[in-house]
Amino acid sequence: MKTIVYPGTFDPLTNGHLEIIERASKIFDKVVVLVARREEKRTLFTLEERLEMVKTSLKNFKNVEVDVLDSLLIDYLKKHKIKLVLRGLRTYQDFEYEKAMFEINYELNSSIETIFLITRTFASISSTLVKEVAMNNGDVSKFVPEIVNKKIKDKIRKKV
Amino acid sequence: MKTIVYPGTFDPLTNGHLEIIERASKIFDKVVVLVARREEKRTLFTLEERLEMVKTSLKNFKNVEVDVLDSLLIDYLKKHKIKLVLRGLRTYQDFEYEKAMFEINYELNSSIETIFLITRTFASISSTLVKEVAMNNGDVSKFVPEIVNKKIKDKIRKKV
Amino acid sequence: MKTIVYPGTFDPLTNGHLEIIERASKIFDKVVVLVARREEKRTLFTLEERLEMVKTSLKNFKNVEVDVLDSLLIDYLKKHKIKLVLRGLRTYQDFEYEKAMFEINYELNSSIETIFLITRTFASISSTLVKEVAMNNGDVSKFVPEIVNKKIKDKIRKKV
Amino acid sequence: MKTIVYPGTFDPLTNGHLEIIERASKIFDKVVVLVARREEKRTLFTLEERLEMVKTSLKNFKNVEVDVLDSLLIDYLKKHKIKLVLRGLRTYQDFEYEKAMFEINYELNSSIETIFLITRTFASISSTLVKEVAMNNGDVSKFVPEIVNKKIKDKIRKKV
Amino acid sequence: MKTIVYPGTFDPLTNGHLEIIERASKIFDKVVVLVARREEKRTLFTLEERLEMVKTSLKNFKNVEVDVLDSLLIDYLKKHKIKLVLRGLRTYQDFEYEKAMFEINYELNSSIETIFLITRTFASISSTLVKEVAMNNGDVSKFVPEIVNKKIKDKIRKKV
Amino acid sequence: MKTIVYPGTFDPLTNGHLEIIERASKIFDKVVVLVARREEKRTLFTLEERLEMVKTSLKNFKNVEVDVLDSLLIDYLKKHKIKLVLRGLRTYQDFEYEKAMFEINYELNSSIETIFLITRTFASISSTLVKEVAMNNGDVSKFVPEIVNKKIKDKIRKKV
């Protein structure tokens, strides 16, 4: 059985992430969405909030699971005996960053394989841009799942 | 009458911005330079200082106006019934960022049109580099209007 | 009155070109689509065929005209007293090429201004890719106007 | 069973191609290397020569097969009921080209999925550079399988 | 005698930096590694720690010296009558940043010349990625000199 | 004594090439401009014409020599006991191509070192664009040395 992990911060999950997860779920037997912990002050949403939004949005995908990443990715993979990593490519800057991470991970553990999908819809949408639009009271409902759209409004209202 | 807005932080205005504004003022009937508010601690100059430098530097352009942007750009455009946005392209990173913003703005309001000019003189000059040079006591007089050159020296002297 | 020219080979016209022309026709008073002559053996379609396809596809645009370019672009502009050039930007390679052409044209005549629009739909479609797909019997109807779709099939049938 | 095709001209096969094929053979159940026909005068090696070099170099891979592509890729995939396409990414230019092909293939048939691997060893090696080096009497043995190294010397000796 | 300076933050020195310094030491008569001061809170290591690691790692290079940069680079060069600056190029983003810095330095002092070497081994390694891996308890020994590997572990243990 | 070679086709020499040669002549003891032979039908000017234009334009540089390259570059270097290669970087596409050539040359002979200068004036000018402008009767006198300007007019008049 081929299992692949999809690591990220998901602060918050966007429709771009969803597209990659859905496509991967048709290619591989199991997809594990790995939500990275990160320092609290560096994310808009807490780990728990990010996890809740991911789990709610993915509940209808039968072969998709959600887990927390709080170590180096290669240590998680070794512990869970997984060898495949999934990454989405939107832009040139993504490509450059992903190439660097891929080369470093390969040096650290040459049995890990990274697989890339090029994003299709809303290729330009990133979590950062979604937050920027939302903070200016823009409507992000086209770019994120329903629960994220609701949560991000609450979050920003509280902050202001 | 064709009116176009040129939004930015202008922290501070550079000769690169000036070049774009001058060229646009010959193509369109009116150019509105939109100075974005931003959180105070994230800019070197306050909104008032940035506005003053922009207004002083542009006082000889008859069809150029200056205004403050404190909402999402598309909301400003709707309110003022303007459909054209002007952006300068210096580098590949600019192109990538602008492409993303353009796609998002289009999703939010498909009647907005963004027009690009490629910068000519001092293509590499950005507000960030100007601040970096000035903070190391470098001479930025070639890269910014006179009032900015004067203000940036005062600003940095006070900070140190 | 602001007139802008849109130069290209249009071998053949694609929906990407059409999108740029349509958007420009809403911004400027007149758009002149300039079909470049080129050596016959270097294009799939003759100049006459390319012109016919462009004219037919654009017949409903009231402020769009079609003309032939058989000199250097800057000489055409000088002769017709036009100062604005329109170019579409799809990709990084486009950006690099356009930046070079823009700098050279500026050196040759500094009163010419080039304006860029970033393509939206089918950003990846180029005349080259359309020909590649068509030559392998692929269906290009989604990517080109109706008359191009019909002509390209005839053309390729004759060639084989 | 997950089958993936790896299309290309392989004029000639390089160690970069081999690396991609070997890595894919560990991820997917079957890899079909698809050698595209092309017009004879546009390749250095004939289709038969290219096929022979590919087959010889891959004979030890149990789940790798070789086939000829003489239609549009999406037609081959439909006929053979395959939905996965494999592509290697070396550079930014690759990324741009692959992004365009991916978008076009998706428009032509949305059930096809393209998967990318970033090349590791000799990331810069392309068939074109191999031919350039060989034609200048350079030693290409580090960059190509043994049979290609031998064939390319014969080929070039005959040409001169 | 040709002296060249190699400026950077070296927070910390990586094997990528070492490679560039070693190669430059074979081309030029003297290489001065210039460790930039920076604000303390913006670097992981203090200036003294960064200097110590650089000096220890370079002690066997006879024509390499180490110095502190606490002014604008062009002022250091003028004071020490040096005209050559060395920079490593790893990626496209590097190229863009270096192109900008080069143009600005040239405007500030046209007698300065910047020379670029493209990195070879571990092209993707940057000080930033080394810190990211180390902070997640990853093994960075392949990417940094021995003393950096030891120091970075101590540093991070104390921080946690 | 440090000798560096500057290989190219120089079809024809441009002011961009001249700038690189002049700057290198101040850094290195000797610069050898290496004019590559190429197949006659693939260049506008014959090898003899290209050599003449290079020699005439460089006659005032005391430490610059001109030679013909009719083998692989690394073989020329070995024969002449030279270890340094000079290349100009104008654009991203240059960077990508140069990175590939550098990696291949390094694999073929690891003692060769390639040094890059980023072009300053007329960064966009290439021999290809110069020919394109000249063939459309454009004035290329700003972009090439005097002898090239004269020769290219003769050449094109004869062709037409």
Q: What pLDDT sits at residue F159? A: 66
Residues of C in contact with F137 (CB under 8 A): 71-72, 75
Cβ within 8 Å, pair B103-C120: yes
Known catalytic residue at A127 = yes
Enter the ipTM.
Answer: 0.89
Residues of D in contact with F71 (CB under 8 A): 136-137
CA dist C158 and C155 (Å) reads 5
CA dist D130 and F146 (Å) reads 38
Known catalytic residue at A80 = no
Known catalytic residue at A90 = yes
Q: Which has the closest alpha carbon to A21: A119, A137, A139?
A: A119
Q: What pLDDT sits at residue C2? A: 92
Low-confidence stretches of chain A (pLDDT beneath 70):
92-93, 121-124, 159-160
Between F2 and E41, where is the model more confident? F2
Residues of A in contact with D106 (CB under 8 A): 120
Q: What pLDDT sits at residue B7? A: 94
How sure is the predictor about E122, in pLDDT bands with cuts at 50, 70 and 90? low
Which pairs with CB-CB distance under 8 Å and at least 24 residues apart come from F49-55? Answer: F49/F151, F49/F155, F50/F9, F50/F10, F50/F11, F50/F12, F50/F13, F52/F147, F53/F10, F53/F12, F53/F13, F53/F145, F53/F147, F53/F148, F53/F151, F54/F10, F54/F13
Distance from CA of F103 to the nearest CA of D (A): 7
Statement: residue F66 has pLDDT above 80: yes
Mean pLDDT of D113-141: 85
Query: How many CA atoms are closer than 13 Å to the CA of E55, on its beta-carbon side?
Result: 9
Query: What is the residue-wise DSSP string for F91-121?
Result: SHHHHHHHHHHHHHHHHH-TT-EEEEEE--T
Q: What pLDDT sits at residue F149? A: 96
Contact assessment for residue C116 and residue C128, using Cβ atoms and an 8 Å cutoff: no
Nearest to F104 among D91, D92, D129 (CB): D129
Q: What are the pLDDT digits (tens) for C28-58?
A: 999 999 999 988 788 999 999 999 999 999 9
Nearest to E108 among B123, B124, B138 (CB): B138
Cβ within 8 Å, pair E138-A93: no
Q: What pLDDT sits at residue B159? A: 66
Active site (catalytic) residues of C? 17, 41, 90, 127
Paired with C66 in beta bridges are C33
Question: Which residues of D lie inside 8 Å of A (Cβ-Cβ)?
Answer: 2, 23, 26-27, 84, 89, 92, 95, 98-99, 102-103, 106, 113-118, 120
Active site (catalytic) residues of F? 17, 41, 90, 127
Q: What pLDDT sits at residue A117? A: 93
Mean pLDDT of D79-105: 84
Residues of B in contact with E71 (CB under 8 A): 136-137
Paired with C116 in beta bridges are B116, C87
Contact assessment for residue F86 and residue F117, using Cβ atoms and an 8 Å cutoff: yes
CATH code at D3-159? 3.40.50.620
**What are φ and ψ of residue C157, in 5° steps?**
-60, -45
- Whole-model pTM: value is 0.86
What does chain D come to in residues? 160
Block means of pLDDT (10 residues each) for chain B, 160 residues, are: 94 95 96 92 93 97 96 92 92 74 83 90 79 87 95 81
Statement: residue E10 has pLDDT above 90: yes
Contact assessment for residue F51 and residue F66, using Cβ atoms and an 8 Å cutoff: yes
The domain limits of chain F are: 3-159
Mean pLDDT of D117-133: 82
Mutate to test the interface with E, among F118, F120, F124 (most CBs of E within 10 A): F118
Statement: residue C128 has pLDDT above 80: yes
Contact assessment for residue B26 and residue B127, using Cβ atoms and an 8 Å cutoff: no
Percent of chain D with pLDDT over 90: 62
DSSP H helical ranges for chain B:
15-27, 47-58, 73-80, 92-108, 127-135, 146-159
Cβ within 8 Å, pair F108-D136: no
Percent of chain E with pLDDT over 70: 95
Q: What are the pLDDT digits (tens) for C63-120?
A: 999 999 998 898 999 999 999 999 998 876 677 777 788 888 888 888 899 999 988 8
Distance from CA of B132 to the nearest CA of C (A): 27
